[in-house]
Amino acid sequence: MKKKNHCLIVIFLLLLSFAEVNAQVYKYSNEFLSLGIGARAYGMGNSVVSSVDDVNSVFWNPAGLTEINDNIQLAFMHNEQFAGIAKHDFGAVSYRLDTNGVIGLSLIRYGIDDIPNTLNLFQNGVADYSRVVSFSAVDYAIVGSYARKINLWDGIAVGGNVKIIRRVVGDFANAWGFGFDIGAKYVYKKWNLGAVIKDATSTFNAWQYTLSESDKQIFTVTNNQLPSNNLELTLPKLIVGTSRRFNVYKEYFYVRPEINADFTFDGKRNALLGSAFTSFDPRIGVEVDYKNFVFLRGGIHQFQQIKRLSGENDYTMVNTIGIGLKLSNLVVDYALADPGSTSSTLPYSNIISLRVNVNRKD
């Protein structure tokens, strides 16, 4: 009973500490957690919420961890975007507890380094480039996952994530955050159905800003608003999807199409369909495999409506392709993704990921 009271006191103090901090809902908050992980998912246009069945489930749908046949799985990903300006890394491990339960732990890092800070560029009205220093903007997320099959209903599994977020912008801004994800999967005959609620209870980031007096003066003189400590809220997002693996030629070739739909509730976004309450963003992917050995993938996502200078509306999308190779206990995946629209001149993103299966010997 004492432990319960202590927990309640801690929660009360945490809430009280933020009582005087302005809480605001930001569209695209914690967007680094919406980019996706794993070359298989990227190759399929990030449409994997119902078919994911390995350690990468810790990101896409924690309920998928229950379909891992190995005692331990390890996964790694490296992705460089915009000609290497932004670096996106991911690492995860899963461990089977018993017949029905699996736990996972993962780390996500998204960072941009060597950003020039030009606040003090001018001295007495003269540009002095020796006063320009560089800083980094880095986002981290540590995620603990747990999933379990439900014995009362055959084919149903549920899972959840606990997320700790750390965001750092140079030495003048940083934030700590906390949130939850909830996921479920249902296998009916050969069909897979999946759903996940990201940031189920809303995820918060408590921002703190540290500016020198000279920096504050520069903000004031240039008519810029001084940043203040605040609480940034990320509203829930619902992702649903369905998929099925079809046999197309004897026991050699299989094809697995999947369609996902993202529903956000932070106002109208630049998505395929949107309103003041919610926005709808579909994703479509397909995976063809030969004897579960070689995989070819393709996908489309991020449908957006663009208004041209002529005043006409146009639609764009992101195309992705990928390939995978399964060698005993090692899986190597590669994906090529267009970071912009189909007419983008930006460099493509190359995503490489590895997965290692480890079976404990009795």
Q: Using one digit for the tens of pLDDT, what is the confidence trace for 10-38?
A: 444 444 444 444 567 777 889 899 999 99
CA-based diameter of the chain, in Å?
A: 78
Q: According to the model, what pLDDT value does residue 341 have?
A: 46
Higher pLDDT, 245 or 276: 245
- pLDDT greater than 50 at residue 9: no
What mean pLDDT value characterizes the chain? 86
Is CATH 2.40.160.40 correct for 2-358? yes
Token duo for residue 14: 């945490």
In tens, the pLDDT along 193-244 reads 999 999 999 999 999 998 888 778 778 878 888 888 889 999 999 999 999 9
| Three-state SS annotation for the chain | CHHHHHHHHHHHHHHHHCCCCEEEECCCCCHHHCCCCCHHHHHCCCCCCCCCCCCCHHHHCHHHHHHCCCCEEEEEEEEEECCCCEEEEEEEEEEECCCCEEEEEEEEEEEEEEEEECCCCEECCEECHHHCEEEEEEEEEEEEEEEEECCCCCCEEEEEEEEEEEEEECCCEEEEEEEEEEEEEEEECCEEEEEEEECCCCEEEEEEECCCHHHHHHHHHCCCCCCCCEEEEECCEEEEEEEECEEEECCCEEEEEEEEEEEECCCCCCCCEECCCCEEEEEEEEEEEECCCEEEEEEEEEEEEEECCCCCEEEEEEEEEEEEEEECCEEEEEEEECCCCCCCCCCCEEEEEEEEEECCCC
Is there a contact between 169 and 155 (Cβ–Cβ < 8 Å)?
Answer: no
Higher pLDDT, 285 or 14: 285
Specify the pairing of strand 22-25 against strand 230-234. Answer: parallel
Higher pLDDT, 348 or 326: 326
Rounded-to-integer distance, Cα 311 and Cα 231, Å: 38
* Burial of 173: CB neighbours in 10 Å, binned 0-12, 13-18, 19+: middle
Q: According to the model, what pLDDT value does residue 24 have?
A: 78
- pLDDT greater than 90 at residue 314: no
Percent of the chain with pLDDT over 90: 56
* Burial of 117: CB neighbours in 10 Å, binned 0-12, 13-18, 19+: middle
Across the range 83-90, mean pLDDT stands at 89
R_g of the chain computed on alpha carbons: 23
In tens, the pLDDT along 119-130 reads 777 777 778 777
Rama region for 113: left / alpha / beta (φ>0; ψ in -120 to 50; rest): beta
Rounded to two decimals, the pTM is 0.85
